[in-house]
Structure 1
Amino acid sequence: MISQLEKEVTFRFLKTRKKDGFLNVISIFSFIGISLGVAVLIIVMSVMNGFRTELVNKIVGFNSHITVKPYTNKINLKKLNENKIKDKIKYYTLSNSGESVILNNNLTKGILLRGYLKSDFDKLDIIKNENFIGNRNSLNEDSVSIGRELSFILNVDLGDSIVLMSPSSVDTIVGSLPKQKKFIISSIFDSGLSDFDSNVAFINLKSLEEFFDYELEKRNLELYFKDPKNIEKQKELVQNFYNEDYVYSWADLNSPLFSALKVERNVMFIILSLIIIVAAFNIISGLTILVKNKTKDIGILKSIGVLNKSIIKIFFLVGVIIGTSATFFGIFLGVAFSIYIENLRELLSNTFNITLFPEEIYFLSKMPSEINIPSIILISVCSILITILVSIFPAMKAARLDPIKSIKYE
């Protein structure tokens, strides 16, 4: 417990006086340093969380949440009627894919073809995108839907035709030749990721199976869940139902990317925590000078019977109050900046006519930010713990002062 005397002396030592000029400067810089460290850490974590969420949303937008690929037997769709899995699924589609080559005038380009039934095509999130151009119900057997970037590369538009070449061969008089077929561009999609838009196209599933000589039994099952982020548990559930088939999720397809993002976030947390640690060491300097300046006061307090543990509490509280108040002020700054970071980006871009977050590099039209409460709590706890640790040494030093010498020589 903290006594009334300890509280009064602590707040008296916190008050600024003219003769404590250099001490006040150190205290102010300690406060500012910790506040900025906490604020910067919250802002960086919020931006990285926002970037990850935006990236997940875009990836989930053009990939199935979970795909079931048959090894031998045809996929049994009746298993989806089980209550355990039925309630979690938003919808499902049948699909298949294969690699092809586009032949257009003098340009050839490799591409991944993904096939869907006409009735399933308009269920896809990427087709519901507001940037989608064309008829959502027109994936006929002679039509193709291509990405915006690919349409720029090929210099084609809606209604134009392209020729696709398959690795499957057809026998002719001159021998075996790769299959070729002309498709009409019926729609153009925009996923927001140029790599996907320039390398993937959609065609009718029946056309794809004929084009690549696929069997009906080899169709994949794509599952779309109501909560695509909690994918590991859902994958485990699906694996229990389809234990004889190969099951993988969108997270498995992009595991290197998300592993890299996780490592980067952890490294940034460690690096930026050093700012708080460096700022916290200013508290040691400030408290050490405070102990030096208050040597006479410490001697008087001891001479009237104040115990060493009370002296420790007083100087310990001074450091903790500075660090804690700085931490909470830093949380306020960090959260406020994270909320209005996009408005600040637009203001700086318009004022100085510079591009701070180019869309063509980051594939995002605005600066993402997502405030994560557990991250803020972790940052706050770390900051306060560092403050507590650095306040212990000067407090112990103050308690070890000899009261007779302190009064005699001051």
Structure 2
Amino acid sequence: MISTLEKEITFRYLKTRKKDGFLNIISIFSFIGISLGVAVLIIVMSVMNGFRTELINKIVGFNAHVTVKPYDTSINKKELNQKSLEKISKELIFSNSGEAIIISKDYTKGLVLRGYNSLDFSKLDVVKKGNFTGQSNQLVKNSISIGKELSFNLSLGVGDTVSIMSPVGIETIIGSLPKQESFVINSIFDSGIADFDSNIAFINLETLESFFSLDKDKRNLEIYLKNPSNISDGKKKIQSIFNNEFVYTWADMNSSLFSALKVERNVMFIILSLIIIVAAFNIISGLTILVKNKTRDIAILKSIGVLNKSIIKIFFLVGLFIGTSATFFGIFLGILFSLYIENLREFLSNTFDISLFPEEIYFLSTMPSEINPISILIISLCSIFITIIVSIFPAIKASKLDPVKGLKYE
């Protein structure tokens, strides 16, 4: 417990006085340093969490949550009626894919073609929720839907014609020649990720299977889950149903990307925590100088019977108050900036005519921010813990002061 005397002396030492000018400067810089450290940590963690969430949403919105790929035999359609599958899935779509080369005027490019029938194509999130130009229910024979980025690169629009070359050859009297067909662009999609928009296109499922000479009985099953974020549990349940097929998820396809993001986030947390540590060491300097300045006061307190543990509490509370108040102020600043960081980015971009968040590099057109209460709690506890650690040494040093020596020259 903290006595009334300890509280009174603690608040007295926290008040600014003219003769403690240098000490006050150290205390102010300690407060500012810890506040900025906490605020920057919260802002960076919020932006990285927001970036990860937005990236996941765009990847999940464009790719199947879980894909079941048959090996030698086709997928048993009786398994689709299992109640355990119905509970976790919202859409079951059969598809197929292949790699080809798109040819337009003097431009050629490798391309991944995904095949769907018209009804299933209109169910995709990239069609329902994305920026989509054209008719989603017109994915018929020899029609193609391309990404916005690819349409810019090829200078193509809805109604234009492109040639697609398949790696599958056709036998002629002069030998095997690659199969080539013309397709009419009936729609243009915008997934929000330039890499997808420039490298993937959609065509009719039966046209794709004919174009690549694929077996219709070996189509892939795309499963769209009700809760795609809980992908590991969903994969286990689906794997138990389709135990003779190859099952992979959107997380498996992008594991290296999200592993890199996780490592980067952890490294940023460690590096930015050093700001708080450096600022907290100012508290040691401030308390050490305070102990030096209050030598006479400490000696008097000891001479009237104040215990050593009370002296420790007094100086410990001074450091703890500075660190705790700075932490809460940093939390306020961090949350405030995180909420309005996109408005700040727009203001700086428009004022100074600079691009602070290029879409072609970061895949996103706006700066995302997601405030995570758990992250804020961890940052706060770390900051207060560091404050506690650095406040202990000066407090113990004050308690060990000899009152006789303290009053000798007074």
Counterpart residue type for residue 263 of structure 1: V
Counterpart residue type for residue 313 of structure 1: K
Matched residue of 1:132: which SS? strand
- Aligned mates of 2:150, 2:29 — CA distance in 1: 54
Matched, 1:371 2:338: no
Match of 2:153 in 1: 153
1:80 Cα shift? 3.1
- Aligned mates of 1:98, 1:229 — CA distance in 2: 27
Moved more, 268-277 or 1-10: 1-10
Counterpart residue type for residue 275 of structure 1: I
Match of 1:398 in 2: 398
Counterpart residue type for residue 393 of structure 2: F
Pairwise CA RMSD of aligned residues?
1.1
- Aligned mates of 1:82, 1:407 — CA distance in 2: 87
- Aligned mates of 1:262, 1:50 — CA distance in 2: 13
1:130 Cα shift? 4.5
Deviations 1:129-154 (A, max 9, x none): 35211001000011111111111222
Matched, 1:344 2:344: yes
CA contact (8 A) 1:129 1:190 kept: no
Match of 1:216 in 2: 216
1:89 Cα shift? 1.0
- Aligned mates of 2:40, 2:105 — CA distance in 1: 53
Moved more, 47-56 or 75-84: 75-84
CA contact (8 A) 2:85 2:238 kept: yes
Match of 2:94 in 1: 94
Matched, 1:40 2:40: yes
Matched, 1:308 2:308: yes
| Gaps in structure 2 of 5+ consecutive residues | none
TM-score of the pair, normalised by structure 2: 0.98
Deviating 4+ runs (over 4 angstroms): none
Matched residue of 1:87: which SS? helix
CA contact (8 A) 2:118 2:136 kept: no
- Aligned mates of 2:244, 2:25 — CA distance in 1: 70
Match of 2:386 in 1: 386
Matched residue of 1:127: which SS? helix
1:58 Cα shift? 1.1
CA contact (8 A) 2:33 2:276 kept: yes
Deviations 1:23-46 (A, max 9, x none): 001001100000000000000000
Matched residue of 1:165: which SS? strand
Counterpart residue type for residue 291 of structure 2: V
Counterpart residue type for residue 220 of structure 1: N
- Aligned mates of 1:350, 1:204 — CA distance in 2: 44
Match of 1:103 in 2: 103
- Aligned mates of 2:337, 2:84 — CA distance in 1: 43
Moved more, 69-78 or 240-249: 69-78
Counterpart residue type for residue 3 of structure 2: S
1:101 Cα shift? 1.0
Describe how 1:8-407 pairs up with structure 2 within 5 A. Answer: 8-407=8-407
Matched residue of 1:386: which SS? helix
CA contact (8 A) 1:165 1:180 kept: yes
- Aligned mates of 1:357, 1:102 — CA distance in 2: 31
1:350 Cα shift? 2.0
CA contact (8 A) 2:239 2:247 kept: yes
- Aligned mates of 1:94, 1:375 — CA distance in 2: 40
Matched residue of 1:126: which SS? helix
CA contact (8 A) 2:130 2:191 kept: no
CA contact (8 A) 2:113 2:203 kept: yes
TM-score of the pair, normalised by structure 1: 0.98
- Aligned mates of 1:356, 1:153 — CA distance in 2: 24
Matched residue of 1:222: which SS? strand
Matched residue of 2:338: which SS? helix
